[in-house]
Chains A and B, each alone.
Chain A
Amino acid sequence: MPELNTASMPDLVFAILFFFMVTTTMRSETLMVRLKLPQASEVQKLEKKSLVTYINLGPAMDIKYGTGTQMQLNDKFAQVEDIQDYIAQEKASMNESDQQLMTVSIKADEDTRMRYISDVKQALRKAYALKISYSARKAEN
């Protein structure tokens, strides 16, 4: 019986490996709020991941923080007043040419009251982070 030549197997696997290494972005934060994103049909994909900053809004997973809407920036809960510092920090970590293109993705639970969203929006305006995106799931309707 002729044997199959598997000498090129490592090369193949390495090729796939490199593909994944390049395309992957490590999940850097663990979600601490419950997010059920609203649905929308006209959503656009956010192009460059490195230019996107996330703001998560929703009820806390852990019941000890209560059932109200909480905001998570990076890995901890924060108040609306912290947004400006957060944005400034994120901006500082970017290239100067990329700062103009910075997008803030607001990921909010669909049951969130607009009051919180508006507060966040006002804070973002003050921080001059004017490009925003309301995160939503793609749906046909």
Chain B
Amino acid sequence: MAKKKRKVPSLNASSMADVSFLLLTFFLLVSSMDTDSGLARRLPPPPQNEDQLETVKVQERNLLVVLVNSSNETMVKSQVSTEWYQTDAELHGRGNKPSLKDKVKEFVLNTNNNPLLPELMEEDFGAPIGTVPVTADHVVSLQNDATTSYKTYIAVQNELVRAYNELRQEGARKYFGSDYDNLTTDQQEQVNKLYPQRISEAEPKNFGGGN
């Protein structure tokens, strides 16, 4: 029996590299690596019926009103003091005024148990925080005019978030001895519970008129 030696034909794969390079460039071009970032918020659920709008009663001392008017000026008002900010720089604490961030922190902490600042209540947060007094019922109410510009609104929102972030950072330092970012998810949750973001965004009112 004659054995014929079969030759396996080899595929010419030299152009494979070219083809895959083409595909690669295509995907390189169409891909968008940019991820969206923003300030996260949770809206309240819609009112069950139209008449029971905003029936939640909040004690005066527990309320910090932050108002942005139609000429993009910010007013922050608690029972203790009222402050006006005309510009962005003043909002950040330049120009001999305490910054909005510091006002919010002072309000949320109420270190000296001022009767005009939110009520301190003892609450248990679990080890290692233990039972500490916190202003559990404080509300930061952010109100704006219909013609307020979005830019200012976001700037103010950003300052509010920054105040809470700094509080959480300080809490993490104090109770866990490390940065907030280095904590485990559970620990972060604990700190978040200690300083919950209680920002209420009311429906805007048209104070200033205009378009």
Which A residues contact B (CB, under 8 angstroms)?
Answer: 6, 9-10, 13-14, 16-17, 20-21, 23-27, 38-46, 49, 52, 54, 103, 105-115, 117-118, 121-122, 124-126, 128-138, 141
State how many residues of chain B have any CB contact under 8 Å with chain A. Answer: 47
Q: Are B147 and A114 in contact (CB under 8 A)?
A: yes
Tell whether, in the assembled complex, residue B43 and residue A132 are in contact, meaning their CB atoms are under 8 Å apart.
Answer: yes
B151 neighbours in A (Cβ, 8 Å): 38, 110-111
Docked-complex contact A24 and B13, CB < 8 angstroms: no
Partner of A27, one of B21, B27, B32, B211: B32
Q: Could you pull out 23 A-B pairs where Cβ atoms are within 8 angstroms? A: A10-B20, A21-B27, A24-B27, A24-B30, A24-B31, A38-B155, A42-B39, A45-B36, A49-B35, A105-B36, A117-B150, A118-B203, A121-B201, A125-B45, A129-B43, A132-B41, A133-B39, A134-B41, A134-B154, A136-B39, A136-B154, A136-B158, A138-B37
Chain B residues with CB under 8 Å of A38's CB are: 150-151, 154-155
Q: Which of B9-57 contact A (CB under 8 A)?
A: 13, 16-17, 20-21, 23-24, 27-28, 30-33, 35-46
User: Is B111 positioned at the interface, with any CB of A under 8 Å from its CB?
Assistant: no
Q: Top 8 closest A-B pairs, CB basis?
A: A24-B31, A110-B151, A133-B38, A20-B27, A115-B146, A40-B158, A38-B154, A135-B38
